Amino acid sequence: MKKLFLLLLCIAVLAACKSKPAAPKIAKLELSQVSPSQKSRAYDLGKRILNACNTSKFKPFTKEEATDKVIQNTTLEKLSSTCRKFSIKYGQFEDIRLVEVIKNNSDNTLVFRYKADYQRKFAQKELQVTLNNENKVSAIRSTDWTDVYTP
């Protein structure tokens, strides 16, 4: 009886452990699959941050534009500190170019990857603007450009 019970228990455990093919967590979208309003919103909000480096003025995000966390972390003091470093190293900010949009299926967000153009061209910077399902900015990140997206 014990052996039968153990055998059934082992079979039940093995059946429960059977892996199902997992849906990919991220997927690259064609630019045509993203609505023009989302592209425009991400571009405008991303450019507003980087333009602050040129003008030393920043219009804070509203609750309709960004999440509370982004609003709290995007202060003029923090931007000024980052802008000083970027201005010294890369020169004046010129523009951003949308390269790709990544959909994160686990939290239903869209990551807009932009190449940021600066006066000095020796290094390519990336600006990532993440929009949540309410079309609010939920994250902004600046890194060195890589051709492969890394979350």
Element (H, E) at 110: strand 109-118
pLDDT score recorded for residue 131: 97
Nearest Cα to Cα of residue 49 among 88, 95, 89? 95
pLDDT tens, residue order, the chain (151 aa): 555 444 445 565 555 655 555 667 889 999 999 999 999 999 999 999 999 999 888 899 999 999 999 999 998 888 989 899 999 999 999 999 999 999 999 999 999 999 999 999 888 999 999 999 999 999 999 999 999 998 8
Question: What fold is seen in the domain 24-144?
Answer: Nuclear Transport Factor 2; Chain: A, (3.10.450)
* Verdict on whether the full-model pTM lies above 0.85: no
Amino acid 85 reads: K
What is the rounded CA–CA span in Å between residue 112 and residue 135? Answer: 12
